[in-house]
Amino acid sequence: MNYRQLGNSGLFVYPLALGTMQFGWTADEQTGFDIMDAYIEAGGNLIDTADVYSRWAPGNPGGVSEEIIGRWLKTRKNRDTVLVATKVRGPMGHMGSEGRQTKHQREGLSRKWIMRACEDSLKRLQVDYIDLYQVHWLDPIIPIEETLSALTDLVRKGYVRYIGCSNFSAWRLMQALWASDKHGFERFVSIQPEYSIASPVREQFEREIARVCETYGVGVIPYSPLSGGFLTGKYQRDADLPDSERAKGIADSRFSEKNWAILDNLREVADNHQAHVAQVSLAWLLSKPYMTAPIVGANSVEQLKQLLPAADLVLDAHELEALNEVSDWPRTRTEREN
């Protein structure tokens, strides 16, 4: 298995990262342990979480996914063989439950909150350091220099090895890279965008962000690479929705003639390889020159095992051309030439 360099960093990662947003939400702790065991056994080494996971589960103030990972890491002999990625930015705790604290002391990308949030994540994860600490999304109130300066201090203290961002637009990513160059701050080594062959924001990513990443050596670890489950093939035209917590949201955001045509095409390619539709969706992502490792979510070991062969699946030029043709977005002449 060829591990891939994460941008220009010294981290080498398995071509599929493991997402854990579902831990404590649609997957309980034991299932989470089993999924992580199966992932590591298959050669996987990058586990992605966030401080806020999963606040949308009833009664969860955030932090549960990190806590589950922390307890699982304690069952392992060597923590160093697992790369732990987490995130900061989202609101933590039950708002208003801590007396006079204001919203902006409990979330965001200020120096004050980043320092506190990192300490909290280290405790929940029960580790001395985080391999990749990511800014979950932009904080428009705080200058990027303050954020990068705080993140740089975390690296200097040894709490964090590398820093990355998520959900940044191309110009914000460039702004951050410039600020790092200018002030000698640590540099974002990766970005975590939403991206798949059927993503509603695919065009936004490919139009500008992907080109920044390729040019400046920023690793790409996209989330929702299966479009939240749509690209597994279990959603079908004119059929009842599958039994999934996410089904209604997927139906609202993904059901379109274009996406059904993409699925039909993925099925044909899957048949050529006697593979699963989801594996072909991931192999399409892995064919991109700027791609490091899609972050897959799985609610069971069975789901995960169906995805893992994608790491070795190579699509030929004709298959990629057909998939691109059915899924592509219109480009202007300037875009084609630049």
Give the number of residues in contact with ligand NAP, rule: CB under 6 A: 31
Q: Of residues 211, 234, 273, 288, which one binds ligand NAP by CB under 6 A?
A: 234
C-alpha span between 150 and 99 (Å, rounded): 26
CB of 318 to ligand NAP, least distance (A): 26
Q: Which of 245, 271, 321, 335 binds ligand NAP (CB under 6 A)?
A: 245
3 in active site: no
Q: Mask of contacts with ligand NAP, 183-202, x by CB under 6 A?
A: ---------x----------
Task: List the catalytic residue out of 3, 14, 39, 53.
Answer: 53
d(CA 223, CA 129): 23
CB of 50 to ligand NAP, least distance (A): 7
Q: Give me the least distance between CB of 88 and ligand NAP, in Å please.
A: 11
Query: Measured from the CB of residue 229, what is the shortest distance to ligand NAP in angstroms?
Result: 3
Pair 121, 89: CB distance under 8 Å: no
Residue 219 within binding range of ligand NAP, rule CB under 6 A: no
Strands (E) in the chain, as ranges, are 4-5, 12-13, 17-19, 46-48, 83-88, 130-135, 160-166, 188-192, 219-220, 295-296
Tell which positions 29-58 bind ligand NAP, by CB under 6 A. Answer: 48
Q: Does 279 bind ligand NAP (CB under 6 A)?
A: no
Output 25 or 185, the one with its CB closest to ligand NAP: 25
Q: Which of 263, 297, 311, 327 binds ligand NAP (CB under 6 A)?
A: 297
Q: Which residue is nearest to ligand NAP (CB)?
A: 19
Contacts of 222 (CB under 8 A, 6+ apart): 192, 193, 194, 195, 196, 205, 285, 291, 294, 295
Q: Measuring CA to CA, which residue among 72, 87, 85 is closest to residue 36?
A: 72
Side by side, which strands form the sheet with 17-19? 219-220, 188-192, 160-166, 130-135, 83-88, 46-48, 17-19, 295-296
Stretch that binds ligand NAP, among 55-63, 97-105, 142-150, 221-229 (CB under 6 A): 221-229
Alpha carbons 63 and 209: distance in angstroms, whole number: 30
89: its two tokens: 């930015």
Cβ partners under 8 Å of residue 99, min gap 6: none
In the bound complex, what is the minimum distance in angstroms from residue 250's beta carbon to ligand NAP?
8
On whether the CB atoms of residues 275 and 264 are closer than 8 A, the answer is no
Q: Under the rule (CB under 6 A), what is the footprint of ligand NAP?
A: 19-22, 26, 48, 136, 166-167, 192, 223-229, 232, 234, 244-246, 278, 295-299, 303, 306-307
**Catalytic machinery residues:** 53
